[in-house]
Amino acid sequence: MPSYEFFAQFYDSLTDNVEYEQRADYIINLLEEKHNHQMGLTLDLACGTGTLTLLLKEKGIDVFGVDGSCDMLSVAQQKSFEKGFNTLFLCQQMDKLDLYGTIDTCVCTLDSLNHIVDEKEFEKAIERVSVFMNKDGCFLFDLNTVYKHREVLSDNSFVFENDEVFCVWQNTPADNDIVEIDLDFFVRYNDTYKRYSEFFRERAYSLELVKKT
């Protein structure tokens, strides 16, 4: 999987519309209030720059984060220090998850599992979570749908701009409901712009396959 070396620098400013605060409240309410599940020790899988991880921590959840990108985790760790937290972050790929002990809850948000494009690796990632899950534990995740990949992402392009960066997002459909994504970042330095590029792929999985897994 990609390291998101450049994306990590701009990820937070480009995702400021995600409404992490509401997302954190929704997760806690869904698990603890609606499903009567006490979150206990919680893993934020594919935590990225740790925004959700740290919000959950602020709300009293005993949480740590795992992500496959050292660059993303570097940002997460810095944010944790600035908040006065001593948060554990581990650099691991989802399908190779290897924890020191068991957990009560795992959350994996923002279509992170879609970044696994190999079906066997997708199944392995879910299996690895189950290995470390305590009895009656809960794994809460979201996924982009096949519809979104075929109709929304498809071969479309998107442009994002803020005071830090100008970003062009270009999609190319591939087989097996995979979308290849090219990101070009243009960063201004005085009177010139420097271009950085990232490439990754996402795959949509059918509900039937997810249930089977």
Confidence (pLDDT) at 9: 79
Confidence (pLDDT) at 112: 96
Instruction: Report pTM.
Output: 0.93
Confidence (pLDDT) at 7: 77
CA distance 20 to 27: 10
Burial class (CB in 10 A: 0-12, 13-18, 19+), 100: exposed
Radius of gyration of the chain (CA): 18
CA distance 136 to 204: 28
Confidence (pLDDT) at 2: 60
Confidence (pLDDT) at 140: 97
Confidence (pLDDT) at 1: 57
Angle at 192 between CA 8 and CA 197, to 5 degrees: 35
Distance of CA 98 to the CA centre of its chain: 18
Q: How far is the CA of 127 from the CAs of 25, 48, 140, 212, 213, in angstroms?
A: 27, 21, 14, 12, 8
Q: Which helix (H) or strand (E) holds 157?
A: strand 157-161
Q: Which helix (H) or strand (E) holds 158?
A: strand 157-161
pLDDT in tens, the chain (213 residues): 565 666 777 787 788 788 999 999 999 999 999 999 999 999 999 999 999 999 999 999 999 999 999 999 999 999 999 999 999 999 999 999 999 999 999 999 999 999 999 999 999 999 999 999 999 999 999 999 999 999 999 999 999 988 888 999 999 999 999 999 999 999 888 888 899 899 999 999 999 989 888
Spell out a b/e string for 164-189, using b for 16 or more CB atoms within 10 Å of the CB, else e: ebebbbebeeeeebbbebebebebee
Q: And the tokens for 77?
A: 């760790």
Confidence (pLDDT) at 139: 98
| Three-class DSSP category at 45 | strand
Among positive and negative, which fits the CA dihedral 70, 74, 80, 84? positive
Confidence (pLDDT) at 191: 81
